[in-house]
Amino acid sequence: MDGAESATAVTTFIDFDHHTITYSSAGHPPPALVQPDGRVEFLDQATDPPLDARPDPVPRPEACTDYAEGAATLVLYTDGLIERRGEDIDTGLVIVRL
């Protein structure tokens, strides 16, 4: 994008054999894992600043979580869905929980 100085990204790897999700986020909203009981768990244990926010590249954090059989929904979404000027980002995350 013209004028952009950085970008956000999230990456996930789902291991269907071991029921794990490995993930990392560079300034992007956390993925949301919907559990079989309907509870939403935000995968926010591996967050880091946006891409190109640091002058020198460094390894990004990575986390892994288990998921239960039947937890078939992993939601990845854009920050444009939840962010509003003058509003706390946690207010927008309520939308994802619904």
pLDDT, one tens digit per residue, over 16-35 is 999 999 999 998 889 999 88
Is pLDDT larger for residue 13 or for residue 40? 13
The pLDDT of 35-56, averaged and rounded, is 88
DSSP element (H, E) containing 42: strand 40-42
With a cut of 60, say whether residue 87 has pLDDT above it.
yes
Report the percent of the chain where pLDDT is more than 90. Answer: 34
Measure Cα distances from 8 to 39, 45, 46, 88 in Å.
Answer: 26, 16, 13, 18
